[in-house]
Structure 1
Amino acid sequence: MSFSAILSQIAAESGFAALATNWQSGVMILISFVLIYLAIVKKFEPLLLLPIAFGMFLANLPMSGVFSYFYEIEHWYDAGVIGVMYAGVKSSLFPCLMFLAVGAMTDFGPLMANPISLLLGAAAQLGIYCAFIFANATGMFTPQQAAAIGIIGGADGPTAIYVANNLAPELVAPIAVAAYSYMALIPMIQPPIMRALTTKKERVIKMAQLRKVSKTEKVIFPVFVAAFCSLLLPSVAPLLGMLMLGNLMRECGVVERLSDTAQNALCNIITIMLGLSVGATAQGAIFLKPQTLAIIAMGLAAFCFSTVGGLLLGKVLCIVTKGKINPLIGSAGVSAVPMAARVAQLEGAKANPTNFLLMHAMGPNVAGVIGSAVAAGFFLTVF
């Protein structure tokens, strides 16, 4: 075989040739570049967005072999490095372990110090039910699929994956990508809504310092919540149980090594594998379909409605308490911890540089984690 023939064969069998005939993969690669830009340059939750974007990039490189679904191959070990990781998503192992890590990093003190935060966290689940009703009304989705789509509005990636695995496993990929992408893009999505629904007078409100919560309260809280919610909605026990176990390890003070591992090493490892796995599911041929694009659009609408729900109740509470509650903290009722709370803090500081809303916003924020898990348990029980 001549040298030119060898070069021609290499060119014909290369990924470049395959990419030239596969426009969907090309589009997804361009989208991954945009997400990488947002993660690195704009710093939009880079710990989450960067692995998602790079997983999307790798999986859409033709013939890369990094990701295959188990049903597409004969042996599980031929699924590719990210394909093997995806088993942790499909089995709900990663979502549950992520909840363990989140619980170990979460301080429920602001919620216990200001129980009214529970109402804000509940109101910020509005988008879940709005998206469910709309998706169900379109006729494009079954009630189970509509419920899985609605959970995107809680801005809780692990919960969205958990519900999708149980109710609509065929939609895990688009739901996971939508949930995690919107979580990462909170700094872009929420501020315009916050400014549109609140006045300058409301945004400058300074809130009183929270009371100190005792260690006994902090130890009892995770045990009580795990027991009450699991008895009320048994299907939510795996998620909420792991969340509260992580929090108990944090607060009890006798397992510092376990708490430190959950907060750091375990969280970082699961973030990498979960992000790569979720991103890799966004393959062009599968992802760029009308049904998938509808899920992405409804997920965005659900997230926006959840933000609106928290803000509107925040405005009501501001009136009822005669200006003692800044409505901005209502936006943190979505369960993206601590991203949503940080956005509320930043918006409050822009209106009033002396304003410090972070700890006040953490109350609705952690309440939103519980709220989205309860909503998931409700859907799992009904459907």
Structure 2
Amino acid sequence: MKTKIKNVFKIAVLMLLIINISCEGEGTLSNENEIISFSLTAGDFTKDFETNNDVIEGVVPYTIDGSNISLRITISEKATIAPDPSAITTIDGIANFVVIAEDGTKREYVVDIQRELSPENTIVSFEVKTSLFETNADIDNETGTINQRVLPGTVLTDIETTIEVSNGATITPDPKTIFDYSSPVAFTVTAENGETKEYLVTLALMDEEYMIQCDITNAFKWFGGDDRPTDPDFPEAFGDRNVGTGQTIRLLKDLNPTSFGAHFQGAFEYATTRTPYEGDFELKLNIRRSDGTIFASKNTLVSGPFMGGWIDFDLSSINLLLERNTDYYFTWYLVDGEALEITASSTANLDETEDESHNGGGFAGQARERDNANLEDWNTWFEHEWHFSFRLEGKQ
């Protein structure tokens, strides 16, 4: 009987031990504090990095934006990490992360990820500023030359430049200290990795005469005012209005224009009676950028009687620099045309020519005072398929 009691006691003690051990196991906190995976993303670029003796190191291409990165870090279950990886957005030297296990055990990781040093060492832009004009110079990165013709009258010993170089590169001498371009100036651009590139900048005054005249005529367009009564069937084509003409001009070289001319067939007259107008009148020329904004204007007064032909605008005093391969919209109209009620015909060519400067499309504008509109407003103009006659003179 005593043996049986002893056996029962032993079993009870054993069960208590098992229960006690089980409870102790359930209360044990994890000491896991490992970085399991580490990846970096910048734009479309993603790279995984391995951990080696609590160190994560490597390089990323110089082409990525090192100031706009994100990290994706996987750590042991129930552990935490500081600082928060989502707060890291730049590659800026060595960083330290601490992974804290559930039981408070800490493990420090050193992260040393570097961006490769850039080999880029080019001049990206070269802006010339003078008291007369501002322009972006042409850059030939293959030959390391920058050649720019500048307006006649420019003082070459008083030139201000703004130069942009490749990201991370430096330039010597400091462009802010150079003002004399009366002779070529040499610059050295040094990349992050130390590679250098030489540039030679040459500025010269425009002194080559330029003249173009596009006057092939096979079409005529209404220009000026209208004294015909309003026709209910054609409310937009008759009655009080002022009609202007425009032409796209694109040049193969930079130009300092000194004169612009528009061509008209015959005298200004009253449309209803065909009576010539023999008095004086005024035309206005607006030169617009490709978004329609006006950046230069010129008026010319014509003494009557005008019998047709060219009317020129003197541009020599406004120091314009028209850049090559750029669309400019020249638009001209009769000042007070709606009140004068006189009209003439702008001459045009229906076909394209071999002259690239004239192959851009034309424009027409129409405005009425009753609509609170005038031909200064770009929204009163529209594209026209004809190529209108013009002549242009200047220096390149």
Give me the TM-score of the superposition, normalised by structure 1.
0.22
Max Rg structure: 2
Structure (1 or 2) with the greater strand fraction = 2
| Higher RCO, Cα 8 Å, sep 6+ | 1
Structure (1 or 2) with the greater helix fraction = 1
